[in-house]
Amino acid sequence: MHSFLTPAVVTALAVSSLIAILFLPRILGTIARAREYARKMQESGYLPPPPTDRGQRRLLRLARLITFIQVGRLEIRGKEKLENIPGAFMVTPNHPHYADLAVMPLVLQRKARYMAAKGVMTAFGGWGGVLAGPMGGFAADLTPGKGGAARETAVRIMTDGSLPLVLFPEGWTYLDGSGGPYKKGAVRIVKAAASETGKETYLLPVHLEYGKYPGKWITKLNPRLEYLLMLLLFWNYRRGCTITIGKPIAASELPKDDAEATEMLRQRILSLKPKR
């Protein structure tokens, strides 16, 4: 009867054990750092280091994959308005699709900061935040009364001015295409940044129009189920997207009343809706 523990097997086991001893601490350390990073990314307003070149490449690859599967052809109108904005600016699109977060990086084609709902960061056991952080994402708690930390972070981004900020004023996604009420955070952020720096800051209205939307029925579902159904039924809703970029709105143009300023922004965005 032959012994299983031949010299070759013993050598292989010894080498494997040595490798495990040498590299296990490093592996465990990497996992621990990833978990801590994921925990921080779930904190509303936590601002990770600026997006990396690798993160930007991954973002664009992921964005192309999602839009290829779910959206199809993109038509961008007014892209020249992205050029030569004479100050820090916030990109403010409407939010009719979960794929908006994939469409906008392809429109901008540059590094940016993206304010995202906290649920994005908690997805997949927290790995959503690990993925989003190097791409420029940071979390916002959309619970009424708990958005202060994310708003302060957004003001910091605007006062720094090195990267544009992408913020969806509706907060939530309205997959039926009807749209929802606009929150006052966007106008408050650009006003605060302009006040702190003494320089003009800008809102850049953008309208996203998809080729087909589900009916009102989808808004009665849990958001995760909404997104899953849209993905599973991609063949029915893959009808392209028209992105229309409007003229920048300077903070000094906004009415002093935040509600009036927000309504002004909403009307500017809706005015970009393509005529059929």
- Please calculate the CA angle 164-205-207 and round it to the nearest 5 degrees: 115
Burial 7-26, CB ≥16 within 10 A → b, else e: eeeeeeeeeeeeeeeeeeee
Q: What is the pLDDT of residue 32?
A: 73
- Give 125's DSSP letter: G
Question: Confidence band (pLDDT; 50, 70, 90) for 124?
Answer: confident
Which 3 state secondary structure label does DSSP give 144?
Answer: coil
Is 182 inside a domain boundary?
yes
Long-range contacts of 190-197 (CB under 8 A, 24+ apart): 190/90, 190/158, 190/251, 190/254, 191/251, 191/254, 191/258, 191/261, 192/155, 192/158, 193/88, 193/155, 193/158, 193/159, 193/251, 194/251, 194/252, 196/155, 196/159, 197/88, 197/159, 197/161
Q: Domain holding 76: CATH number?
A: 3.40.1130.10
pTM tops 0.75: yes
Q: What is the pLDDT of residue 1?
A: 46
Question: How many angstroms separate the CA atoms of 255 and 269, rounded?
Answer: 16
Model confidence pLDDT, tens digit, residues 27-45:
666 677 778 888 888 998 8
In this structure, the answer to whether residues 97 and 202 fall within a common structural domain is yes
Is 28 inside a domain boundary?
yes
More confident residue, 252 or 215: 252
Mean pLDDT, the chain, rounded, equals 90
Confidence check: pLDDT of 187 > 80:
yes
Q: What is the pLDDT of residue 196?
A: 96
Contact yes or no for 97/208 (Cβ under 8 A): yes
Question: How many angstroms separate the CA atoms of 28 and 204, rounded?
Answer: 44
What's the structural domain count of the chain? 2
Q: What is the pLDDT of residue 3?
A: 57
Is 147 inside a domain boundary?
yes
In this structure, the answer to whether residues 27 and 128 fall within a common structural domain is no
Question: How many angstroms separate the CA atoms of 187 and 192, rounded?
Answer: 9
| Overall average pLDDT of the 159-183 stretch | 93
Confidence check: pLDDT of 158 > 50:
yes
In this structure, the answer to whether residues 7 and 28 fall within a common structural domain is yes
Is 276 inside a domain boundary?
no
Is 275 inside a domain boundary?
no
- Give the pair of three-digit tokens for residue 56: 């930007």
Question: How many angstroms separate the CA atoms of 41 and 121, rounded?
Answer: 6
Model confidence pLDDT, tens digit, residues 59-107:
999 999 999 999 999 999 999 999 889 999 999 999 999 999 999 999 9
Question: Confidence band (pLDDT; 50, 70, 90) for 4?
Answer: low
Nearby residues of 226 by Cβ (< 8 Å), 6 or more positions away = 98, 173, 175, 218, 219
Q: What is the pLDDT of residue 114?
A: 96
User: In terms of Cα–Cα distance, which of 177, 182, 171 is closest to 219?
Assistant: 177
Confidence check: pLDDT of 169 > 50:
yes
- Give the pair of three-digit tokens for residue 191: 């006003």
Confidence check: pLDDT of 192 > 90:
yes
118-132, 184-198, 218-232, 235-249: range with lowest mean pLDDT: 118-132
**Domain span at residue 12?**
1-40
